[in-house]
Structures are given as C-alpha cells and as structure tokens.
Structure 1
Amino acid sequence: MNAIVKETVDRCRDAGLRRTKALEELISTLLESGRPMTLAELASSDRLAEQCDKATVFRLLQRLIEHGMVRRLGLHERAAYFTLLLPGRHNDYLICTSCGSIEAIKAPCPVHELEDEIREKTGFRNLYHELEFFGLCPACP
C-alpha cells in the first residue's frame, strides 16, 4: 500500500471510520486519478467495480466528506466531482458553468497569505479554504 494511502486510511480510522478494502480502493483511486472524479467514474473504476456497488461508493464518499477527507466539487444541477483532501496539499478549481468541466488551477493560490493573517488575528486553528472560480471554458460557446 502506498504511503499516502496508508496515512489517509489511518486518518480515516482515527476519525472513527472502519478500515475496509472498499475504503482503501476508493482512496487509492482518487489519489491515482490526479483529477476530481464523478461517482459514476469511481464506481466503474477498475479498483472499485468488482469491490462494491455504486451505493456503497456513494456512502463512503459521504462519510469522507463529513470527516473532511474528500471535497465535493461542481455545480449543484450537474454531476458532482470528488477529490481527496490531503494535509499540506491544496488545489483550487475552475468550473465551467456550461458543460460542467472542472480543472485544477495551475497558479499560486492568492488566498494563503490572507488565511495566515486571519489565523493570526482571530486565533482560529485548523483554518482552511476552498476556492472555486466559475465561468465558460474555452470549448463552450
């Protein structure tokens, strides 16, 4: 098992989630994908298709979201995308309001300095942010 997968599974166990093969495979799939994935993509992936059904994948995703280990992205009327949250790693996203495509922003995050300032002034701990920009992608008219 990959070290990042093991660390994430250990975080899940510390949060009270049962360590199951399906949980390990879901985390591995999200980690290896390198991009946010839909429920359908996850459930039909090579790692998960034979391991569990779509409902089980959905329940696992919901638990991971509740415990702050997975982030749900996308427009509410379109398919949701899911991405693994890892300590020390951060991605902001561009989301097309026409086709629903999602891509990570490949630029420094402009909010990190503000986050540090807010943390210092307010005393908040475990502070984080999620930044999504919405617009029309180059492929959409």
Structure 2
Amino acid sequence: MAHHHHHHSKPATVTVQDFIDRCREAGLRRTKALEELIATLLESGRPMTLAELAASERLASQCDKATVFRLLQRLTEKGFVRRLGLHERAAYFTLLVPGRHQDYLICTECGTIEPVKAPCPVHELEEEIRVKTGYKNLYHELEFFGVCPKCA
C-alpha cells in the first residue's frame, strides 16, 4: 500500500520557469507581471490575498491591483491557481503545484486560512476512484469551514 503515498514525499522543486512554460502551453501570455506573480506565490508557499499580492515587493512596482486580479482569474480558470476562502473580498490564492497537496481550514468569522496539519483521508479514496474510473491526473481540494479559537 506504500505506493499510494508517493505524493507525500518531498515535493518536486518546481521552478518559476516550469510554471511559466505550462502557462504558455495553456495559452497565457508571458508577461513580467505573470512571472512576478508566479514567483511571489511560489516563494510564499502559503495562500495570499489579492491585497497581499498587489502590495508584495515584486508586484507593487510591476502592475496595479486590477492587473493582478485579472491574472489570478486567468490562472484560476486554467487550473494553475486555486482560489480559497468564502467570498471575493477575502479570497486567498495559492499555486496548484503538481504532486504538492494541501487541505485548508477556514474561519467563517475572520476568514483566516490555515493548512490542515493532519494526514489526508481522501488520498486512499482518490486512488480507488482513479482505479475504478480510469480518470487521469486526479486531484481534489478540501476546505474545512469553522470558527477559529480566536473568534470562538
């Protein structure tokens, strides 16, 4: 059964270049803003809000908030970025890196997001679904909602 857990091994190091190449294959124009956005998300390694991204040092000098938002929309549509959270104004964005998987806990009161620090029970299920259906590149996204200790 051990082979089911190959995606828990150290995540493959994905470079900004790898990511840009995939974006271009998907028909996204390579712009400096796109590169900086991907670099910022990749370096951060955690979900970031639009405001955080627009204000980050790489992007603040590059483009305005509207541009960052449009890029995030395109990246989300193409499946390169995952949008987390409850509503537009408090949405967080994170890169979907192949083989790197994370489930999140989201507070319905203050909107903070934290990664779930527990083994994911869905991986076995995912494997079973893959075998039964023949689907390729199967992945899932889990978000748990609740009230964080601070708000509770």
TM-score (norm: length of structure 2): 0.88
Say yes or no: does 1:20 pair with 2:19: no
Distance 2:65 2:89 in 1: 18
Say yes or no: does 1:4 pair with 2:22: no
* Cα displacement string for residues 78-122 of structure 1 (whole angstroms, at most 9, x for unaligned residues): 510000110110110000011100011122211011001001101
Q: Which residue of 2 aligns with 1:109?
A: 120
Distance 1:30 1:67 in 2: 16
- Displaced runs of 4+ in structure 1, greater than 3 A? none
Q: Which residue of 1 aligns with 2:54?
A: 43
Percent sequence identity is 80
CA contact (8 A) 1:78 1:100 kept: no
Distance 2:114 2:31 in 1: 30
CA contact (8 A) 1:22 1:52 kept: yes
Question: Structure 1 regions of 5+ residues with no counterpart?
Answer: none
Q: Which residue of 2 aligns with 1:128?
A: 139
- Match among 11, 33, 38 for residue 44 of structure 2: 33
Question: Structure 2 regions of 5+ residues with no counterpart?
Answer: 1-12
Distance 2:63 2:136 in 1: 37
RMSD: 1.4
Distance 2:29 2:110 in 1: 36
Matched position secondary structure for 2:90: coil
Distance 1:20 1:78 in 2: 25
Distance 1:51 1:77 in 2: 23
Say yes or no: does 1:59 pair with 2:70: yes
CA contact (8 A) 1:94 1:133 kept: yes
